[in-house]
Amino acid sequence: MSTHAATAPPASPAVRKGLPPGPRAPAFWQTWRLYRDWIGYLEECRRRYGDAFTLNFVAIGRWAYFADPGALRRVFQGPPDVFRAGEARTMLEPVVGRRSVLVLDGEEHMRARKLLLPSFQGTHVRTHERTMEAVTREEMAGWPTGRPFRLRPRFQAITLDVILRAIFGVDAADRRERMHRAIGRLLAVANGPFVLVPTLARDYGRLSPGGILARRRAAVDELVYAQIGERRADPGAAQRDDVLSVLLGARDEDGHELDDETLRDELMTLLLAGHETTATALAWAVERLVRHPAAMRRLLDELREEPAGGDYLDAVIKETLRVRPVIGDVGRTLGAPAEVDGHLLPAGTMVAPAVAAVHLDPQAYDEPEAFRPERWLEDSPPGQAWIPFGAGRRSCLGAGFALFEIKVVLRTILTSLSLRAARPEDERPRVRNITLAPGRGAEIIATPR
C-alpha cells in the first residue's frame, strides 16, 4: 500500500490539525501518575478528555492515546510504513539486536516474522506441553508450604526455563543454570529506565549504564553463540522441536540459512518478549483467583472433570488479561502524517492504543472493573475490545505459546496445591520492568491438596 493514501489530509472539516488535548500538568507529574497507576490514569484521562488524548512524558515526549474501536482499527490495520511498530521499539535494540523482528519495519519485518511463524502455530506449540509440565513440577517442589511467599519470581523461573528448553533447546542443566544467571544480570540493567533514553544507553565506559549493559550482554551472547554453534553441528537438529532447531532448518527467500547474528537476535527477542510477560500474566491469574473464591471453585470443578482444562480455564485467562493487561502500552511511530480519529497528526508522532482504557470501556463490558470469567462463556461474548496482545500484523507472535503455557502451568499447580491470599487486599498493578505486575508479587500461602 502506498503511504500517499494515508498521508493525504481528508477534506472533512471535522479533522483537526495536531495532537488531541490532554493534561497540562508538567511532564514529570504526568510521567509519575502513569508510572504509579497506569490503568487508573489512562482510564481517568479517557473519562476527562474522551477517546483521544495526549500525555507528555519526561525524556520521550508526547504520546497520542486512542481508545475508540475505529481509531484502533486504523492504527493496527493502517499501512505499516506509516504506523511503524519497529521504530516505536528502538529502545529495545541494545538487548534484542538490530535484526530482531521487534525492531524491524516494512519488508524486512515481514520476512523475519514469516520465518518465526511456523514455530508458534498451535500444533507446534503443543509439542512443548510435557516440558512446560515438567518445569512447573520441578519448580513447585521447592515451594514453601503453610507460609507466605511471592509467586511472581517463581513464575519467572518457570517461564525462563521453558524458554531455554523449548526455544533455545538447551538440554544440559548446568548450561541452563549459567544462562539463568547471565540473563538475570543482563535484564536487571536492561530493564532499567535508562534504556528509554538512547543517549544514556550508549557505552561511555566501564561504570556507565551503557557500559555495564554491553558487558552483561557480551556474557549472555557468549553462551547463546555456543548454543547456536553446538546445535548447528548436531546432525539430529532436524528432528528437534525447539525453535532454534526449526530456525536452523529455515531458509530465507534466496534459499540462504540464517546467520548466527540473526539467530542470536531472534532468540534474545523471544526471551525478552516472552519471559517476564508470561510470568506476570500467571501471577495476575493467581492474584485474581485467590480473591474470587466462586471462580476458583468453578475452575477446580472443571479441572476435576477435565484435567487438561476446558472453556472455563480459557475464560479465566482471558478475563485476567482484560482486567490486568500485562503490557501497558503498544505504540506506533508515524512514518508520515496521518489522520486518526479526526486528528491530523504530524510524522514522528507516537500513536498508542490505550490498552487499559479499552479493556475497561463500559460500552464494551458490563461492570468492566469486575473479574467475571463467565462473561466469556455467555451467548455473545465481548471480544472486540480485547487487545492484550495488540492486533494486526505486529500483534504478539507468541500469543498462542503464552496462552498455552499459562494454561498448562495453572492447571499443574492448582491440581496439586491449595492456594490462598497472604493478605486480603487486592494487589495494585505496579511497573515491573516491561510489565504491569501485582505490587506484592502475587503473595500467597500454599498447602498440599
CA distance 361 to 380: 17
Nearer to ligand HEM, 33 or 332 (CB): 332
Nearer to ligand HEM, 127 or 447 (CB): 127
408 in contact with ligand HEM (CB under 6 A) = no
Q: How far apart are CA 38 and CA 222, in angstroms?
A: 37
With respect to ligand HEM, which residue has the nearer C-beta, 213 or 282?
A: 282
- Tell me the C-alpha distance between 340 and 264, whole Å: 37
- In the complex with ligand HEM, the residue whose CB is nearer, 110 or 364, is 110
Burial classification of residue 424, based on how many CB atoms lie within 10 Å of its CB (0-12 exposed, 13-18 middle, 19 or more buried): exposed
Minimum distance of ligand HEM from residue 346's CB (angstroms)? 21
The backbone torsions φ and ψ at residue 447, rounded to the nearest 5 degrees and listed phi first, read -135, 150
| Biggest CA-to-CA distance, the chain | 67
Instruction: Answer yes or no whether residue 278 interacts with ligand HEM by CB under 6 A.
Output: yes
DSSP 144: -
**Shortest Å distance, C-beta 17 to ligand HEM:** 26
Conformational region of residue 78, where left means phi above 0, alpha means psi within -120 to 50, and beta covers everything else: beta
In order of 23, 219, 311, the CA distances from 292 in angstroms are 36, 44, 18
- 113 touches ligand HEM (CB under 6 A): yes
277, 320, 333, 349: which one binds ligand HEM (CB under 6 A): 277
How far is Cα of residue 202 from the mean position of the Cα atoms in its chain?
25
Question: Please, which residue, 210 or 274, has the CB nearer to ligand HEM?
Answer: 274
Q: Which parts of 60-99 interact with ligand HEM (CB under 6 A)?
A: 85
User: The dihedral of CA 177, 183, 186, 188: what is its sign?
Assistant: negative
Residue 57, all three cell numbers:
512524558
Query: 155 φ, ψ to 5°?
Result: -70, -35
212 is a site residue for ligand HEM (CB under 6 A): no
Smallest gap from Cβ 208 to ligand HEM, in A, equals 29
Q: Which is nearer to ligand HEM, 186 or 273 (CB)?
A: 273
Tell me how far, at minimum, the Cβ of 92 lies from ligand HEM, in Å. Answer: 10
| Residue 396 makes contact with ligand HEM by CB under 6 A | yes
Residues 25-54 contacting ligand HEM, CB under 6 A: none
Binding residue (CB under 6 A) for ligand HEM from 330, 351, 421, 444: 330
| Residue in the block written with cell 517461564 | 159
235 C-beta neighbours (distance < 10 Å), count? 6
246-275: which residues touch ligand HEM (CB under 6 A)?
Answer: 269-270, 273-274
Contact call for residue 320 and ligand HEM (CB under 6 A):
no
Question: Does residue 390 interact with ligand HEM by CB under 6 A?
Answer: yes
Cα–Cα distance for residue pair 275/241, rounded to 1 Å: 19
Residues that bind ligand HEM (CB under 6 A): 85, 101-102, 113, 269-270, 273-274, 277-278, 281, 326-327, 330, 388-391, 394-398, 401-402
